[in-house]
Amino acid sequence: MKVQLCKQPTNGISYFTALLDFSQLPADLNIYVPLFCSVLTEVGAGDLSYREFAQQTELCAGEFSSSTSLVINHSDVSQFNRSALLRSFSLERNTDKMFDLWTKLFNEPRLQDKDRLKTLILNVSGLLIGFL
């Protein structure tokens, strides 16, 4: 995995940004990428319910988000890759806690909570209907 570290004077705040490349995702699953991104940080992880996960992120991070991103191919601007854009920031003293939460979320998202997923999907579809 390519990692870029940029040390800058940020008044004691650490910023994290990552792109998860979905270019190898089977084409029939691409339609689910926006939904996946919208629920990822809302489902909990590991031993933390979604409520506990939200509390932990609020205690250590100023932002904890996932959204879709289209990355244009620089060699051919007619081509692009769909990615997940992950972002968070925290005080330097909380950076380890912030990365522990990302690690839990990457390795153990609580996607088996069907009631929570149903609520999140209904919220997203309600927003889409309101938009249309």
105 is a domain residue: yes
36 is a domain residue: yes
Q: pTM for this one?
A: 0.82
CATH classification at residue 108: 3.30.830.10
Buried residues in 73-94 as b, exposed as e (16+ CB within 10 A): eeeeeeeeebbbbbebbbeeeb
4 is a domain residue: no
- Structural domains counted in the chain: 1
Contact at 8 Å (CB) between 63 and 88? Answer: yes
What confidence tens digit (pLDDT) does each residue in 40-92 have?
Answer: 999 999 999 999 999 999 999 988 999 998 878 788 888 887 889 999 999 99
What one-character DSSP code corresponds to residue 85?
E
What confidence tens digit (pLDDT) does each residue in 31-54 have?
Answer: 888 888 999 999 999 999 999 999
Partners of 109 in beta bridges: 45
Instruction: Name the band, by pLDDT with cuts 50, 70 and 90, for residue 1.
Output: low
Cα 79 from Cα 98, distance rounded (Å): 34
- For 33, the domain range is 13-131
Asked if the model's pLDDT at residue 106 lies above 60, the reply is: yes
